[in-house]
Amino acid sequence: MSRLDDCYNVFDLRDAAKRRLPRAVFEFVDRSTEDEVALRNNRAAFERIKLRHRSLVDVSGRTTKTTLFGKEIALPMAIAPTGAAGLCWHEGELELAKAAAKAKIPFTLATGAMTNMEKIAREANFRLWFQLYVWKQRDLSYGLIERAKNAGFEALIVTTDTIVPPNREYNARNGFNIPFKPNMRFTFDIMRKPEWFINVLVKYLTTIGMPRNENYPPEYQRALRSDPRMHDVMRQDNLNWEDVKIFRDKWPGILMLKGINRVDDALKAASLGVDGIVVSNHGGRNMDSAAATIDMLPEIAQAAGDKITVLLDSGIRRGSDIVKAVALGAKCVLTGRATLYGTAVGGEAGAAKAVGIIKTEMDKTMAYTGCNGVDEISTDIFFGDRERNTMVGA
């Protein structure tokens, strides 16, 4: 029996990932920032929303399929950009992308990925999105955009919520750095996980050397983020709406902004011709006082109307979470950790398992609430006054 057979939900996959990964890598994936309030609150906000069964509706013909930016996907879910997939599994980004392509959902490659973007485009091309962290030296970022365009990526997602490095204190304690420069504690940590060492680290060491940000310009690929030169490169606290205009000019495909939390920002994005926004608090990884995205979604989706497509992430662990997000106006959700845990346990098969679990849960929730199609999902399936159920302090 494979490890995956013992996993019945995303939380089982998390436990299995914890057993397999070195502590520093697991904590980088799993934890968030400071006191981890936002991380907990993302889940609590989903859990506070209660649904009602609808009885005696024929739902035998139901489907989770939906249309996003004019094309069909198997369910309203996409893979979020996560710079760490390549540490969960050798070339983990490729494994995730293959699972996404087979499941017919979009995959987003992060700027910090450890797999070459052209390789992903060659080997796993269903709907590929590229996530951009904007560097101080804008020319370097424009170069990445050009590469993504040439490689055939369908969408560009500019992340707007990570303009300064977050306080992830555990990374400092664990000696976690990309590319690796293990300290004593990290080396001891790795020695306790020989399977990961052989199947992940050794595979990199015998091919490209230490795992690194494979799509960075060559001069920065080998530099540590803690290297003072990198501080300057990584700086993005001058990112502003003028940049968005330039990205709109340079990117003919679908353009999205990730990390939009306010109605005025959503409307501004729409006015500049941005196609989509992701209501996101980065999975609670950046600002610990960030509100839960599912609590912020209704007013943003309502104001956005059909001016801009609204997506959501942060806290999705169950298929019922997708139903709740769709009911409140999201056209699609993105999963970060849920699918990373799967990748850490079984590469492509593990990622596919995570997607399959979430899809089945979504299908069952649709059946219980009497929805035959995604367009039938609305707040009509909610119990009680949503505001009272979900506001902080309820």
Ligand X SMILES: Cc1cc2nc3c(=O)[nH]c(=O)nc-3n(C[C@H](O)[C@H](O)[C@H](O)COP(=O)(O)O)c2cc1C
CB-neighbour burial class of residue 2 (10 A; exposed 0-12, middle 13-18, buried 19+)? exposed
Contact region with ligand X (CB under 6 A), list: 184-192, 219-227, 310-318, 351-359: 310-318
Contact string (CB under 6 A) for ligand X, positions 284-303, x = contact: -x------------------
H or E stretch including 249? helix 241-250
Q: Half-sphere exposure of residue 260, counting CA atoms within 13 Å on the CB side?
A: 31
Catalytic position from the list 53, 90, 231, 282: 282
Least separation in angstroms between CB 385 and ligand X: 26
Rg (CA), the chain: 20
**Core vs surface per residue 151-167: b (16+ CB within 10 A) or e:** bebbbbbbbbbbbeebe
Which of 20, 258, 353, 359 is the binder for ligand X (CB under 6 A)? Answer: 258
Query: Pick from 7, 3, 27, 65: which is nearest to 357 by CA?
Result: 7
Note whether 212 binds ligand X by CB under 6 A. no
Comparison of 131 and 390: residue with beta carbon closer to ligand X = 131
Contact region with ligand X (CB under 6 A), list: 81-89, 195-203, 299-307, 320-328: 81-89
Least separation in angstroms between CB 292 and ligand X: 11
Q: For residues 250, 254, 260 and 263, what is the CA-based torsion angle, rounded to 10 degrees?
A: 100
Which of 13, 24, 29, 311 is the binder for ligand X (CB under 6 A)? Answer: 29
Taking every pair of C-alpha atoms in the chain, what is the biggest distance, in angstroms? 64
Which of 33, 66, 82, 236 is the binder for ligand X (CB under 6 A)? Answer: 82
Q: What residue type is assigned to position 273 of the chain?
A: G
CA dist 138 and 74 (Å) reads 36
CA dist 340 and 338 (Å) reads 6
Note whether 282 binds ligand X by CB under 6 A. yes
Contact region with ligand X (CB under 6 A), list: 18-26, 196-204, 334-342, 372-380: 334-342
CA dist 23 and 221 (Å) reads 24
Which of 10, 23, 66, 81 is the binder for ligand X (CB under 6 A)? Answer: 81
Q: According to CB under 6 A, which residues from 146 to 185 bind ligand X?
A: 159
Which of 76, 83, 342, 347 is the binder for ligand X (CB under 6 A)? Answer: 83
Which of 86, 112, 319, 346 is the binder for ligand X (CB under 6 A)? Answer: 112
DSSP 158-221: EE-S-SS----HHHHHHT--SS----HHHHHHHHT-HHHIIIIIHHHHTTTSS---TTS-HHHH
Note whether 361 binds ligand X by CB under 6 A. no
Residue 53 is among the residues annotated as catalytic for this protein:
no
Least separation in angstroms between CB 59 and ligand X: 28
Strand segments, DSSP code E, in 12-76 are: 66-68, 71-73
Least separation in angstroms between CB 174 and ligand X: 13
Question: Which residues, in sequence order, are bridge partners of residue 66?
Answer: 73
Comparison of 91 and 313: residue with beta carbon closer to ligand X = 313
Contact region with ligand X (CB under 6 A), list: 52-60, 205-213, 324-332, 336-344: 336-344
Question: Which residues, in sequence order, are bridge partners of residue 256?
Answer: 157, 276
Comparison of 126 and 176: residue with beta carbon closer to ligand X = 176
279 contacts: CB under 8 Å, gap ≥ 6: 260, 261, 293, 296, 297, 300, 310, 311, 312, 313, 330
Contact region with ligand X (CB under 6 A), list: 218-226, 277-285, 354-362, 375-383: 277-285
Count of chain residues binding ligand X (CB under 6 A): 24
Least separation in angstroms between CB 158 and ligand X: 9
Comparison of 62 and 339: residue with beta carbon closer to ligand X = 339
List of residues contacting ligand X (CB under 6 A): 28-29, 80-84, 110, 112, 131, 159, 258, 280, 282-283, 285, 313-316, 335-338
> Active-site residues: which are they?
282
